[in-house]
Structure 1
Amino acid sequence: MKLSASTLTALPASVQTPAYKRKAHAPGVVHLGLGAFHRAHQAMVFDRLLTAGDTRWGIHGVGMTRPDLVDQLRAQDGLYAVRVADGQGVTWQVPGALWRMSVATTERDAVVQAIAAPTTRWVTLTVTEKGYTPALGQLLLDGLRLRQQAGLPGITIASCDNLQGNGHKLQALVKTAATTHDGELLRWLDAQCAFPCSMVDRIVPAATPEVLAAAQEALGVPDQCALSTEGFWEWVIEDRFADPADAALLRSAGVRVTSDVHSYEEAKLRMLNGSHTAMALMGAVTGRAFIADCIAQPGIRQYVHRLMSLEVAPHLKRSDWAAYRDALIERFANPHLRHSVHQIATDSSLKIPQRWPGTILSQLSCGASVDHMAFAAATWIRYALGEDEAGQAYMLNDPQAPSIMAMAKDQKNTLQSCAEALLSRQDIWGPDLPQQAVWRKRVCDWHAEILQRGLMAALDHLLASAN
C-alpha cells in the first residue's frame, strides 16, 4: 500500500485531494525540472485551475537528470502530499495536476513530442541557474520546430528560475540554437510564441525522513515523494502570453500578472535570495544546520534585518519592501521548514552574481556603506575552506568548487592574498566590482577578523560598529 490513484479515496477527510477527474484529458503544460519547488508551487497553481474546471492545465513533468524521482512519481500515479505549515497551523494537500512524466536524458524524444503535442499550451521551467545550457535551448527548439511544421499555434514558454530577465534569457537561448536554415521557424517563434519574465517565491526545502514519516502518519499510507512548504507563495508573471486570456485565468488562481515583473524580481533576488545565501554561509561556517537555527540567533537576525534595510532596500522599486522584509524574517523563522544551509549554499558561485553585486555597486556609487555585504562576501571566502569552525568538514556542492577551494585553501596563512584572489574573479563578481578598492578592503578586513576572532565575534563587532 502506498499513495496512488487507488488509495486516494481512502485518505483521511482532513487531507485535501483532487476534486476533478485526473488524466481524462491530455496535459496542457510541459514542465522541465520536476523537483520539489515546482511540485509545491506551479503545480499547485495549476491544481487550482483544474479544480475550477479548466481541464487544460494538467502537467507532463520532465525530470532533467533524475530517473529515480520520476520512477517514484510514476509508481504513485503522479501523486504526492504537500505539508503546508506556518504560524497559522499545518494542513496536508495532495495536488493532482501531474499526469505524465518523462526523463530528459533517457526519453528525449518523448519530451520533444510532448512540447509539440496539439494540446500543449505552456512550457514552464525550473531547471535552476545552471540548467540554461545549449542542450536546453536545442531541446526546446526541436519541440517548437515540430509545432511550426505541423501548423500548430505558438505557446507560452515561461522560465520560473531565479534569473533576472529570465524570459529574455530563455528566448535568447532558444534562438541561439537555431541554424541559418531556421529563418521561417524564428519568424513563427517571434510572431506566435511568448517568453514572459516571471518571479516565483516559496520556500520549499528538500524532502527529509521527518517529512516522509509525517506524511505517512497524516495519510495513513507511505508517500516517497512528500514535501513540506510554507503557507506563503507568490508568482509574478509578465502580461505576455500566447493566449492573452490566460492572464485572467492566472489572476483567478492568485497569480500576480503585471507589466512590471522587474521590481518584484529584483526585490526577491536581493532581499530573499541574497540574505538566504548570506545566512546559509554563516550557518555552514558556524555549524548551524538549518536556516531557522540561524535566524533564531539574535545577532544573525539583526544582521539580516540591517542588510535588507540599510544596503538592499534603498535601491529597490518595490514600494512595500519594509513589509516584505518583515514577512521574510518571519518566514525564515518557520520551525516547520528545516531548510538546510548546505542546500541553500549549493551553487553559490552561480547564485552570488545574481544576488549581491547589484546591491554592492549601487551602495558604492552613492558613497554608502557596504559593510553588511562585505561581511557576507568574507563569510563566503571562509566557507570555501570546506570545514566549519569546529573543524567539521563539509562538501562544497558547486560547479566551481575545485578552483574556489584551491584559491581558498591557504587563507589562514595568507589572509589578504587569498581574499584578493577570490575577489578578483569576474565570473562571480562581474567586471566592475574587482576594480573597487573600497569594496576589496572592507571584505579583506572582515575576512581577517572572521578568521582571527570567529564569525560570531566578528558579527558582534559589525553590529556594534553599525549602531
Structure 2
Amino acid sequence: MIQAANGPLGVEVGTGGTTTTVIRVRNADELQRLLPQPETGRRTLLGIVGAPGAGKSTVAAALQALSPRAFAQVPMDGFHLADQALTRLGLLERKGAPETFDAHGYAALLSRLRDRPDHVVYAPAFERELEQPLANALPVPPAASLLITEGNYLLLDGPGWRKARQQLDEVWFIDVDPDVRRHRLVARHILFGKEPAAAEEWVQRVDEPNAELVTATRHRADRILDLSDWQLTLSTQPHHRLLLTTTQRRAMTQLSAATLSSLPPELPVPAYDRSALSVGIVHFGVGGFHRAHQAMYLDRLMSQGQAHDWAILGVGVLPHDLAMKQVMDNQNGLYTLVEKGPDGTQNARIIGSIVDYLFAPDDPEAVIETIAAPGVRIVSMTITEGGYCIDPVTGEVDVNHPALRADLAPGAVPASVFGLATEALARRRERGLPGLTVMSCDNIQSNGDTARAVFTAFAEGRDTHLAAWVADNVTFPNSMVDRITPATTDQDRAQIGEKFGVEDAWPVVCEDFEQWVLEDSFAQGRPAFEDAGAQLVEDVEPYELMKLRLLNASHQALCYPGYLAGYRLVHDVCQDPTFARYLLAYMEKEATPTLRPVPGVDLDAYRHKLISRFSNAAVRDTVARLCAESSDRIPKWLVPVIRENLAAGRSVRYGAAIIATWTRYAEGTDEAGTPIDVIDRLKEQVTAAAARTRSDPLAFLQQRDLFLDLADQPVFVDAYLEALGTLHGPGATVLVSAMA
C-alpha cells in the first residue's frame, strides 16, 4: 500500500493472481509524487490508459502542466489511420477500435523517444474537429525528461501493442464510474457535431465495445487511479476533450452573468447594464477573430455609455458552430479577452457585447425573424474567404455553388448565410420596413463589394424585384480588419483559470495590435465606431490592399519555407534574421510597388511593425494555421501582386518563390522527411499536382483555376523553376538565404 504523509492514499485489489494498487488522487501535486523516478541517460515514459471518456488526456495535460519544459505529451490518438485508409480497409464504421490504429508505428515512435535523441522529434496529434490525425503537430524537445503518452490500448495484448507497452516504464489506469464516462462521451460527440441520437448510437455501437476491451486490461496496470475528488468538464479544444480542476487548487468560478460580481478586481468586467442592451447587430461566424475585434470595439463603446442598442446576436450555420452555441449559452455570451504584447505585457477583461446566440440548423425561423425585426440594422459576417461562393481566381459569383443552389430550390428551408439573410430581407420588404447594412469583416479585397455581388446574385435567383429592392435599400461597406488571433488552447484556459480563478470554456487570446478601417456607408445608422478606435473613411481600398498584400501575403511567404525548414511557430520563423530579411525584401521589392498611397501610413514603418508583430512569442501563432486553405488565400492575396508586377515589367522573383515553396509543401513531406498533413479544400488536386512536379516541373503551376495563365509567362516560369530547383536541391533555408 502506498502511504502519504497524511495517511493512506490507496488500497490493493487482485485479479488473476496479480495485485494492482488503487490510488485515490486528490490533486495534481499527488499525481506528481506518483511519477516514476527517471534513470540517468534516458527518458522516462509513462502511459495513461483508460476507457473512452475516462479522462486520460486530462490527466496527461495536468501532468505536463506541472513542468511544461521537462515533461512532454504524445497521444496514442495521433496514430489513428486516416479516413481514406479506413475506407479502403472497410473499417470506417469501426473507427476507434484497435485495428484502426497504426500500433507498430506508435511503438516505433515510443522507442525512438525513449532513446532521447539530441534533436526535436515531432509526433502526430489528433484533430478532434476534423476527426483526423495531424502529422508533426507535437514537438518533443531533447530536454524533455518525462514523456507522457495516453490512449485506450496501451495494455492490450496484441501485435504492436505489446511492443508499445515494452517501451513504457509505468502504465496508470484511470478508473471512472461507467455511467459518468458514458455521459461524457455523449456530450463530447454532440460538442463536435453529432446529433444527440447519433451520439448515443455511436457510444453504444462503437465506444462501449472498445470500453469493455480496455477495462479488461485494467489488472495489467501498475497503478489504478481513482479521480473521484477531481471535477472534469467539457472542453472545446480539439486535442483535449476535457478540462480538469481539483478541489485542492484555487477555487474556480464558472463565467456567467450571475458570477460577474464575484470575479477578482484585476479582471475588469462590463461596467454597463447588460440587461438593458438591445440587439442591433446579427453576426454570422462568431469565432476568435470576431470576438477579438468587432465585439471588442462594441464592448469598448458600451463601456463609454454608447451603443446600448447595438448589442450583438451571434448566429452559427455550420455543424461545428454548435460548440460555440453551447459555450455562449452557458456563459450568457460572456468571454475573456487576453491581449498579449511582444514585451510580455498582458491585458485581460470580460467582454459583454454579445447577448445571445442562435444555431441556425436548430431554428432557422428564429434567425430569419431576428434579422427581419426593426431593431436590427446591421448584419455582419466573418465567414472566411471560402464562405462567399466566389470563384477564387475570376472573382465572379459561383451561382452553381451547392450552398446557393440548395437554398434556391423550390420550398427549401434556408440554411446558408445568404439564404437566411435574404429571406429576412424579403420579409422586411413585405412588411414595409427599411433595409439594413451588410458588413463583411473578412480578409477579402473589397469585401463589401464581394458581399453585395453574392447577395445580389442570390436575390436575383429568387425574385428580380427583391434584387432591385436590395440594391436600393441595403448597403455593403468595405472594410479592412486586422488583429492576429490564434486558436484558443487548453493552455490559454488553464492560464486564465490560474491567474483569475475563472473557468472560461472559450476565451480569446490575441496580439495587442488592432486596426479597423471602415467605409462610412450605412443604411440605418451605425455605432460610433470611431470613438472606439476605428477609422471611418470614404475609400478603404488603399488600406485593404496594404494589409492583404503586406500582412496576409507575407504570412504565405513565411509559412511554407518556415514549415519545410522545421519551424512550427510563427514567431520562431520571424525571429530568424534571415527569414525576417527575406520577408522585408518581398514586401519592399514586390508587394509595396503595387500599392496606392495610404493616407496617414508610413509604409516602411508598417513593414517593420509587421515583422515585430509576427515575432511576438506571447501569441504563439502556428505555422500550420497559415499554411491551411492555401487555395483560398494565394489566388486572392498573392496572384494579383504577381500579375500587376508582370504587367508593369517589375520583378516577380519573390512571388515565384512563394508559389514554389507552396508547391514543395504540397508534396507532403518536410525536409526531414516527416509527413505534412495538407489542409485544403482542394487537397486532392493540389497534392496530386505537386506530386507530379518531379517529372513535370510545371504541373503545379498549370492549375489554371488557381493561377490563370502564369504558366504561360516566361519571366515568371523561369523564376519559379529556379526556386523549385533550389527547394528540390539544397532546400528552403538556402532559397531564403539567397533572397534575403
- Which TM-score band applies after superposition, normalised by the shorter structure? over 0.9
| Pick aligned residue for 1:61 from 302, 309, 314 | 314
Give distance in 2, aligned partners of 1:170 and 1:179.
14
Q: Aligned residue for 2:566? A: 287
Deviation at residue 181 of structure 1 after TM alignment: 6.6
SS of 2:438's partner is: strand
Contact residue 710 and residue 716 of structure 2 kept, 8 A: yes
Q: Deviations over 1:387-410 (max 9, x none)?
A: 211122221111100111111124
For the pair 1:364 / 2:646, whether they are aligned, the reply is: yes
Q: Deviations over 1:115-156 (max 9, x none)?
A: 112211111100001111323322221111111112222111
Counterpart pick for 1:407 among 686, 689, 698: 689
Alpha-carbon distance in structure 1 between the residues aligned to 2:701 and 2:304: 52
Structure 1 pair 207–448 and aligned structure 2 pair: CA distance change class (3 A): same
Distance 2:267 2:378 in 1: 29
Gaps of 5+ in 2: 1-252, 390-403, 405-415
Does the CA-based 8 Å contact 2:653-2:719 persist in structure 1? Answer: yes
Q: 2:457 — aligned with what? A: 176
In the alignment, which residue of structure 1 is the partner of 2:258? 6
For residue 34 of structure 1, what is the aligned residue in structure 2? 286
Deviation at 1:362? 2.3
Q: Deviations over 1:159-214 (max 9, x none)?
A: 11111111111112112112477344333322222111111011000111221111
Worse-superposed segment, 282-291 or 38-47: 282-291
In the TM superposition, residue 106 of structure 1 has moved relative to its aligned partner by: 3.1
Q: Is the 8 A contact 2:437 2:476 kept in 1?
A: yes
Separation in structure 2 between the aligned mates of residue 363 and residue 193 of structure 1, nearest angstrom: 36
Higher helix share: 1
Given candidates 471, 487, 491, the residue that maps to 1:206 is 487
1:115-130 paired onto structure 2 within 5 Å: 115-130=371-386
Distance across 1 between alignment mates of 2:475 and 2:338: 33
Go from structure 1 to structure 2 and tell me whether the alpha carbon gap of 1:44 and 1:388 turns closer, same or farther (over 3 Å shift): same
Are the counterparts in 2 of residues 47 and 57 from structure 1 also a CA contact under 8 Å? no
What's the counterpart of residue 702 of structure 2?
A: 424
Question: Which of 273, 278, 286 pairs up with 2:552?
Answer: 273
Maintained 8 Å contact 1:379/1:447: yes
**How far apart are 1:435 and its partner, in Å?**
2.1
Alignment-derived partner of residue 443 in structure 1: 720
CA distance in 1, matches of 2:560, 2:270: 39
Q: Quick check: 1:51 aligned with 2:329? A: no
Secondary structure of the residue aligned to 2:427 is: helix
Q: 1:85 aligns with which of 323, 329, 340?
A: 340
Whole-Å separation in 1 of the counterparts to 2:354 and 2:462: 36
Name the CA distance, whole Å, in 1 between partners of 2:269 and 2:705. 46
Mapped pair 1:238 → 2:522: no
C-alpha deviations, 1:353-395, integer Å up to 9, x for none? 1111122122222332222211111100001012211122221
Q: Give me the whole-angstrom Cα distance separating, in 1, the residues matched to 2:445 and 2:359.
A: 27
SS at match of 1:351: helix
Equivalent residue letter for 2:596:
K
Report the Cα offset of residue 444 of structure 1.
Answer: 1.3
Shift of residue 285 of structure 1?
Answer: 1.6
Asked if 1:148 corresponds to 2:404, the answer is no
Equivalent residue runs for 1:254-333 within 5 Å: 254-319=533-598, 320-333=602-615
Which has the larger share of strand?
A: 2
Q: State the shift of 1:23 in Å.
A: 3.6
- The DSSP-based 3-state class of the residue aligned with 2:258 is coil
Deviates more, 1:304-313 or 1:84-93: 84-93
Unaligned runs of 5+ residues in structure 1 are none
Distance 1:338 1:56 in 2: 36
Q: Which ranges of 4 or more aligned residues in structure 1 deviate by more than 4 Å?
A: none
Any idea what SS the aligned residue of 1:30 has?
Answer: strand
Find the residue that maps to 2:685 and give its secondary structure. helix
Q: Distance in 2 between matches of 1:360 and 1:307?
A: 11
Which one is further off, 330-339 or 280-289?
Answer: 280-289
Q: Distance in 2 between matches of 1:17 and 1:283?
A: 40
Equivalent pairs: percent with the same residue? 36
Where 1:100 maps in the other structure, the secondary structure is strand
Aligned residue-pair number: 456
Contact 2:289 2:485 (8 Å CA) reproduced: yes
CA distance, structure 1, for counterparts of residue 339 and residue 485 of structure 2? 10
1:461 positional shift: 2.3
Q: Secondary structure at the match of 2:257?
A: coil
AA aligned to 1:402 is: E
Matches of 1:316 and 1:360 in 2, distance apart? 13
| CA–CA distance in structure 2, aligned partners of residues 188 and 49 of structure 1 | 32
Are 1:73 and 2:317 matched, yes or no?
no
Residue identity opposite 2:299 in structure 1:
D
Q: Is the 8 A contact 2:284 2:417 kept in 1?
A: no
Q: Counterparts of 1:87 and 1:27 in 2: how far apart (Å)?
A: 36
Question: Match for residue 94 of structure 2?
Answer: none
Per chain length, whose mean CA-contact separation is higher, i.e. which structure has more relative contact order (CA < 8 Å, sep 6+)? 1
- SS of the counterpart of 2:375? coil
- Give a deviation string over 1:203-254, Cα, whole Å, max 9, x none: 000111221111112321211111111111111111211135x37x121111
Instruction: Note if 1:21 corresponds to 2:273.
Output: yes
Instruction: Give me the TM-score of the superposition, normalised by structure 2.
Output: 0.60
CA distance in 2, matches of 1:224, 1:59: 20
Choose from 424, 427, 433 the match for 2:710. 433
Contact 2:563–2:623, Cα closer than 8 Å, also in 1: yes
Code of the aligned partner of 1:73: M
Whether contact under 8 Å (2:292, 2:508) holds in the other structure is yes
Tell me if structure 1 keeps the 8 A contact 2:278–2:310: no
Provide the rounded CA distance (Å) in 1 between the counterparts of 2:362 and 2:472.
32
Amino acid at match of 2:341: D
Deviations for 1:403-454, whole angstroms, at most 9, x for unmatched residues? 111111244x42xx1x41211222212x342321110121111111111101
Matched, 1:250 2:529: yes
Q: Distance in 2 between matches of 1:263 and 1:41?
A: 20
Which of 417, 432, 457 does residue 734 from structure 2 map onto? 457
